């Protein structure tokens, strides 16, 4: 609080107002649309803003703030500017991790404490041309935004007149007039400076630089109270300003190369989700638990599927058997800038383990690199509490003994003590991946036992498991004959004579 800028009764912000920003977003509104910010979000120059624990997409937005000087109710466009008392700088900070669930209201994404710093100086609105104001923003001394009100889609006076049609604008109320292109993500330690000035006016009046430093919060959100932070490729693209800046080479439309959030937007398609939700019936699951992977893989090979094996992995618990539908997680090779943007906060790894459903198996693409961990005991515990049937990774496992002691079956290349950022960047959830040389899609059937792990296309699972169980019964009977002293020749595989004997045993109920 300062003497120059009183606490506003209302803060009204516009979604899109600059042509440069609208063009960046690929959509230009026909009319202005608004949202409210709470008065408790006001901050001042020299202050700090917290990026909450478990989030990654806090973004700055340099804006021109209008401070109402005279009550305005149903004012004409020609008179609207006379109701503006002052102009100053604002940083309309926003947390994209919380944006999707508020559907444009921005209550949580832009309502945080300190998310509307203002100042430091007020410019008398009577001394400037509202069409000739400039807003600039710097991050750590680097100029990131530089635009003028000549680039507005909706003139400043129009915003005042429009809002006054709907409710009374009172002295001290603040209108945030939108941000131009250049807004992007900021991280703890960054220093953001915003300045508004009128370079062509007499004396070139300026707001001075509004300085805000980003800090890291340490209190996570409580998922029992409301929705948790989550981001997807669209949110990352819009927060960073472009797909390239976000590290999404193919842009937000790419499902293979763009990270997804675990929220509804950008997630797997309806058929993929339905396929997983229908999943495995108790009867089918029971059959798969009975059928050995050796028999299942033999049936897949008969049907032309020769690449169904996830090679190089073994169970952390001797004798473990896993059956479930795949939930996929993809790591890409480590790169410093990508790990800085996607490795921290509520990253893809955490989202996968936080959203795995009962009976699913998390399958991780780690490019067969056993020299670093891809999960540890905490995320494994989270998967276990959510009812995951197991985990398969073609990489290593940290806290190997602790994970095994938890009882959660994990098939991996073995133990490794390193942290995630040594070789990997957590990148994507619920997309087609490669694990141990096998292609795995969300909803594929995963079966693992002492012989290894295989992937079964959902469309084949019923016939494959039935044939595998039939084969298992046949081989059990054959083993009994061998144990009784019969030679293998003609018995394994069975010739016509032994086939007839087996058929008779089945008919008599003796083929066990």
454 confidence band (pLDDT: 50, 70, 90): very high
Asked if residue 169 belongs to a domain, the reply is: yes
The whole-angstrom separation of Cα 116 and Cα 65 is 10
DSSP class of 381 = H
Residue 177 included in any domain: yes
Let me know if residue 1 belongs to a domain. no
* CATH classification at residue 307: 3.50.30.40
335 in a domain, yes or no?
Answer: yes
Over residues 444-455, mean pLDDT: 94
The pairing of strands 142-148 and 58-59 is: unpaired
Which pLDDT does position 43 carry in this prediction? Answer: 94
Cβ neighbours of residue 223 under 8 Å, at least 6 residues apart? none
Residue 504 banded pLDDT, cuts 50, 70, 90: confident
**Radius of gyration, alpha carbons of the chain:** 31
> Percentage of the chain with pLDDT > 70?
92
Q: What is the mean pLDDT of residues 118-146?
A: 96
- Residue 149 is predicted with a pLDDT of 96
3-state DSSP assignment of residue 315: strand
Residue 433 lies inside a defined structural domain of this protein: yes
Res. 256 pLDDT band, cuts 50 70 90: very low
Q: Are residues 318 and 328 in the same domain?
A: yes
Give every CB contact of residue 478 below 8 A, 6+ residues apart in sequence: 491, 492, 494
Note whether residue 6 is domain-resident: no
User: Quick one: how far is CA 81 from the chain centroid?
Assistant: 43
4 inside domain:
no
Residues 296 and 189 in one domain: no
Q: CA 421, CA 7: separation in Å to the nearest integer? A: 44
Please state, in angstroms and as integers, the Cα–Cα distance from residue 461 to each residue in 69, 269, 292, 295, 457, following that order: 71, 21, 13, 13, 6
d(Cα 2, Cα 88) in Å, to the nearest integer?
Answer: 14
Q: Both 22 and 130 in a single domain?
A: yes
Q: What is the pLDDT of residue 420?
A: 74
User: What one-character DSSP code corresponds to residue 138?
Assistant: E
Q: 277 pLDDT exceeds 70?
A: no
Same domain, 248 and 312: no
Q: Helices 461-483 and 496-508: crossing angle, nearest 10°?
A: 100
Lowest mean per-residue pLDDT among 109-123, 262-276, 284-298, 434-448: 262-276
Say if CB 329 and CB 348 are below 8 A apart. Answer: yes
Residues 482-507 have a mean pLDDT of 84
Instruction: Tell whether 283 and 203 lie within a shared domain.
Output: no
Residues 293 and 178 both lie in one domain: no
Same domain, 237 and 295: no
Q: What is the DSSP string of 208-260?
A: --EEEEEEE------TTTSPPP---HHHHHHHHSSTTTTT-TT-TT-TTTS--
Specify whether the CB–CB gap between 134 and 198 falls below 8 A: yes
Taking only the tens place, the pLDDT of each residue in 58-98 is 999 999 999 999 999 999 999 999 999 999 999 999 999 99
Instruction: Please report the pLDDT score of residue 255 as a whole number.
Output: 34
Cβ(486)–Cβ(478) below 8 Å: no
Task: Give the strand pairing for 174-176 and 11-14.
Answer: parallel
Q: Tokens 């490669």 identify what position?
A: 434
Confidence band, pLDDT 50/70/90 cuts, at residue 345: confident
In sequence order, what are the residues at sequence separation of 6 or more whose Cβ sits closer than 8 angstroms to the Cβ of residue 109?
Answer: 94, 95, 96, 97, 98, 99, 102
Backbone angles phi, psi at 313, to 5 degrees: -115, 150
Q: How many CB atoms lie within 10 A of CB 113?
A: 12
Mean pLDDT of 292-296: 91
* Residue 242 structural domain: 230-257
Identify whether residues 72 and 43 lie together within a single domain.
yes
Choose the weakest-confidence range: 164-168, 302-306, 398-402, 438-442: 302-306
| Residues 302 and 207 reside in one and the same domain | no
Work out the number of other CB atoms within 10 angstroms of the CB of residue 357.
15
Note whether 194 and 93 are same-domain residues.
Answer: yes
Query: Does one domain contain both 344 and 475?
Result: no
pLDDT band at 163 (very low <50, low <70, confident <90, very high): very high
Pair 412, 313: CB distance under 8 Å: yes
Count: domains in the chain:
4
Q: What is the pTM of this model?
A: 0.53
Question: Treating both helix axes as pointing N-terminal to C-terminal, what angle do 461-483 and 293-302 enclose, rounded to 10 degrees?
Answer: 120
Q: Same domain, yes or no, for 203 and 238?
A: no
CA-wise closest residue to 425 among 343, 307, 340? 343
What is the predicted pLDDT for the residue at 121? Answer: 95
Examine the pLDDT at 403 and tell me if it is beyond 60: yes
Share of the chain above pLDDT 90, in %: 63
Q: Say which residue the tokens 């098939």 belong to.
A: 411
Note the residue count of the chain.
512
| Residue 326 covered by a domain | yes
Checking if the pLDDT of 23 tops 80, the result is yes
H helices of 233-376, in order, are 233-240, 270-278, 282-290, 293-302, 336-342, 348-355
Q: What is the CATH number of the domain that holds 74?
A: 3.90.850.10
């Amino acid at each position: 609080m300062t003497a120059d800028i009183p606490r506003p009764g209302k803060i009204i912000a516009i979604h899109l107002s600059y042509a440069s920003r609208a063009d960046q977003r690929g959509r230009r509104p026909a009319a202005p649309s608004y949202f409210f910010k709470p008065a408790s979000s006001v901050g001042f120059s020299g202050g700090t803003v917290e990026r909450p624990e478990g989030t990654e997409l806090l973004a700055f937005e340099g804006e021109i703030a209008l401070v109402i000087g005279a009550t305005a109710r149903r004012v004409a466009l020609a008179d609207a500017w006379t109701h503006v008392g002052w102009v100053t700088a604002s940083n309309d900070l926003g947390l994209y991790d919380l944006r999707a669930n508020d559907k444009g209201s921005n209550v949580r994404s832009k309502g945080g404490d300190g998310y509307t710093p203002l100042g430091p100086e007020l410019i008398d609105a009577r001394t400037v041309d509202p069409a000739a104001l400039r807003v600039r923003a710097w991050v750590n001394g680097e100029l990131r935004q530089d635009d003028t009100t000549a680039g507005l889609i909706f003139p400043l006076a129009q915003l005042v007149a429009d809002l006054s049609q709907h409710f009374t604008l009172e002295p001290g109320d603040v209108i945030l007039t939108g941000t131009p292109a250049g807004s992007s993500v900021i991280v703890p330690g960054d220093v953001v400076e915003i300045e508004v000035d009128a370079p062509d006016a007499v004396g070139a009046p300026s707001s001075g630089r509004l300085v805000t430093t980003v800090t890291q919060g340490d209190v996570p959100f409580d998922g029992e109270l409301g929705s948790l932070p989550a981001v997807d490729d669209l949110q990352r693209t819009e927060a960073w300003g472009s797909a390239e800046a976000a590290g999404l080479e193919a842009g937000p439309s790419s499902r293979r190369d763009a990270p997804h959030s675990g929220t509804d937007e950008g997630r797997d398609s309806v058929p993929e989700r339905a396929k997983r939700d229908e999943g495995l019936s108790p009867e089918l699951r029971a059959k798969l638990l009975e059928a050995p992977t050796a028999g299942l893989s033999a049936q897949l090979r008969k049907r032309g599927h020769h690449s169904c094996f996830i090679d190089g992995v073994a169970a952390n618990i001797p004798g473990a058997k896993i059956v479930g539908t795949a939930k996929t997680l993809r790591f890409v090779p480590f790169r410093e800038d990508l790990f800085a943007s996607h490795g921290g906060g509520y990253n893809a790894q955490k989202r996968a383990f936080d959203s795995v459903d009962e009976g699913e198996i998390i399958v991780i693409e780690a490019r067969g690199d056993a020299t670093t961990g891809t999960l540890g005991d905490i995320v494994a515990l989270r998967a276990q509490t959510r009812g995951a049937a197991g985990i398969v990774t073609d990489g290593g496992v940290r806290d190997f003994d602790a994970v095994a002691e938890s009882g959660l079956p994990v098939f991996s290349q073995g133990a490794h003590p390193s942290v995630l950022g040594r070789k990997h960047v957590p990148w994507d959830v619920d997309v087609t991946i490669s694990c141990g040389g096998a292609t795995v899609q969300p909803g594929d059937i995963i079966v693992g036992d002492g012989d290894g792990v295989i992937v079964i296309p959902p469309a084949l699972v019923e016939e494959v498991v039935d044939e595998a169980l039939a084969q298992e019964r046949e081989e059990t009977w054959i083993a009994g004959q061998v144990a009784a002293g019969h030679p293998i020749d003609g018995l394994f595989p069975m010739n016509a004579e032994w086939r007839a004997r087996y058929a008779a045993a089945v008919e008599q109920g003796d083929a066990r």
